[in-house]
Amino acid sequence: LTQRMLKSYCQVGQDHFYIKPVAQLKKAVALYQEGLDFLSDFRNVAGVAASLDEINAIWPEYKNLITARPNKKNVPELVILNEKLLKLAHQIVLDLTAESGKELGKIVNVSGRQRMLSQRIELYYLLRDWGFTKQSYLDTLATARREFTEGMAYLNNYPKNTKEIKALLENTVASYSLFEHSLNNKGNAFLVSLTVTQLLKQMNTATNLYSKSSNKL
């Protein structure tokens, strides 16, 4: 959700209104707050309370900036805050995965992370398109692309995939492969957005399927 928020912010800032980024941003902000409220029930899990406290200290500032009229000058600060929130949220996921003690905990985590990576790829593509060519940003885009490919390989090799999940993963790999070359060039924001939206839906479905399997154990 943090990746989606900043992605939508960049879309509005560049006058890319093809997927209603203003509405997407408002929805992501609301869902993020709901998620924080939900996670408060798990503060007793080791490490979660400390991460939540840090998130709650950063979130108000990030929320104020991300919901204001897009300003290119604010992007570097937003990126810094975004990275902090993402790191803390990922740590919570790791702590909850460790607490669950289930074999499927990791596969759910990896599948869910693919959703984040799809948004992250588009975010850093948009930053580059907007003129932010700082080497660390370019490196982050390259890393996200590599990690998404590695994540798909991990999921495809999971021995307990159902036929439904196998078919879904095959479609996801095909979708990503078809548009990957578009990420190498500027001016493909519309195509990137369409494909990333598809990837997000596919990986959201996969994550839900893995979660249902996990709940049965």
How many CB atoms within 10 Å of residue 67?
13
Q: Mean pLDDT across the chain, nearest whole number?
A: 93
Contact 82, 3 (CB under 8 A): yes
64 contact partners, CB below 8 Å, separation of at least 6: none
Summarize pLDDT for 72-93 with one digit per residue, the tens: 999 999 999 999 999 999 999 8
- For range 103-123, the mean pLDDT: 90
Is the pLDDT assigned to residue 117 strictly greater than 90? Answer: yes
Summarize pLDDT for 137-152 with one digit per residue, the tens: 999 999 999 999 999 9
H helix intervals, the chain: 2-13, 21-39, 48-66, 75-100, 104-129, 135-156, 163-179, 189-215
Summarize pLDDT for 14-56 with one digit per residue, the tens: 999 988 999 999 999 999 999 999 999 999 999 999 999 999 9
How many CB atoms within 10 Å of residue 213?
18
| pTM beyond cutoff 0.85 | yes
Mean pLDDT lowest among 102-106, 163-167, 178-182, 188-192: 102-106
pLDDT at 179 (0 to 100): 86
